[in-house]
């Protein structure tokens, strides 16, 4: 006498079938198409990052890693999608990997998540979703970058001058710069060191040249600065 099939038996069969190796979607054309789309979208992220970067030191190697991150993530998701049993092994393998590279700019973290999201969506065969999402995010970043460039860039201005000419130096700075914030002021026997945070539009390197013509100014330094003026 055959035992009746229960819901538990059906669930176990479906569960085991889900963990069986299935390579029907991992054909050579599908792999090449997915990797090609991941590369194209990663290349778009590469150009958007290069175009919108506003930091001091641009890292070309980090930007290239965004392309590779999209493609590698695509490969991983394609393997997991074709064989769910591999997902357990992937979790165990990736859990022992520790990344010690410090990400100083928060926007770099955003770009990393963007590249990973592209790899996940392409690897899961959500190609239209990945393409539309990448184009929308790219358009938003370009628009925000355009607005930010029109607002100007942040700099630190360091001026050393004679204390006897404090009024002349302050008046000259007020004429040349409309908005600034005093960050520090140090008095020594050799004079005063004043550090200002300011925002300038375009190339204003001639600011330090003009300050040297002010009586009492010994030297002036203009350095790019990432933080926003409060």
Q: Say yes or no to pLDDT of 229 above 50.
A: no
Helix (H) or strand (E) holding 50: helix 28-52
What is the average per-residue pLDDT within 95-100?
Answer: 60
| pTM of this structure | 0.66
Task: State which fold the 153-224 domain adopts.
Answer: Alpha-Beta Plaits (3.30.70)
Q: Say yes or no to pLDDT of 85 above 80.
A: no
The 10s digit of each residue's pLDDT in 174-209 is: 888 877 888 888 888 888 898 888 877 655 667 787
191: left (phi over 0), alpha (psi -120 to 50) or beta: left
Q: Say yes or no to pLDDT of 33 above 60.
A: yes
Domain ranges of the chain: 23-150, 153-224
- 160: helix, strand or coil: strand
Cβ contact 131:65 at 8 Å: no
Query: CB 173: neighbour CB atoms within 10 A?
Result: 19
What is the average per-residue pLDDT within 9-37?
Answer: 66
Phi, psi angles (nearest 5°) of residue 219: -160, 160
Query: CB 24: neighbour CB atoms within 10 A?
Result: 7
Cβ contact 99:112 at 8 Å: no
DSSP per-residue codes, 61-88? HHHHHHHHHHHHHHHHHHHHHH-THHHH
3-state SS string for 161-229: ECHHHHHHHHHHHHHHCCCEEEEEEEEECCEEEEEEEEEECCCCCHHHHHHHCCCCEEEEEEEECCCCC
Share of the chain above pLDDT 70, in %: 71
- For 68, the token pair is 């590779």
């Amino acid at each position: 006498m055959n035992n009746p099939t229960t819901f538990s038996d059906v669930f176990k069969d479906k569960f085991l079938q889900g963990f069986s190796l299935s390579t029907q979607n991992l054909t050579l054309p599908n792999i090449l198409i997915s990797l090609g789309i991941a590369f194209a979208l990663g290349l778009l992220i590469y150009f958007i990052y290069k175009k919108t970067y506003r930091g001091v030191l641009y890292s070309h190697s980090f930007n290239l890693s965004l392309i590779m991150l999209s493609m590698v993530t695509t490969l991983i998701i394609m393997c997991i999608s074709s064989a769910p049993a591999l997902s357990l092994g992937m979790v165990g393998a990736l859990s022992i990997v520790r990344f010690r590279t410090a990400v100083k700019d928060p926007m770099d973290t955003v770009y990393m998540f963007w590249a990973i999201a592209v790899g996940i969506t392409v690897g899961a065969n959500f190609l239209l979703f990945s393409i539309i999402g990448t184009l929308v995010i790219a358009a938003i970043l370009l628009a925000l970058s355009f607005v930010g460039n029109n607002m100007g860039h942040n700099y630190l201005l360091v001026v050393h001058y004679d204390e006897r000419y404090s009024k002349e130096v302050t008046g000259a700075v007020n004429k040349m710069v409309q908005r600034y914030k005093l960050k520090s002021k140090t008095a020594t026997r050799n004079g005063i060191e004043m550090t200002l945070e300011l925002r300038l539009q375009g190339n204003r390197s001639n600011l330090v040249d003009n300050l040297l013509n002010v009586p009492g100014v010994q030297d002036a330094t203009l350095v790019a600065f990432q933080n926003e003026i409060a």
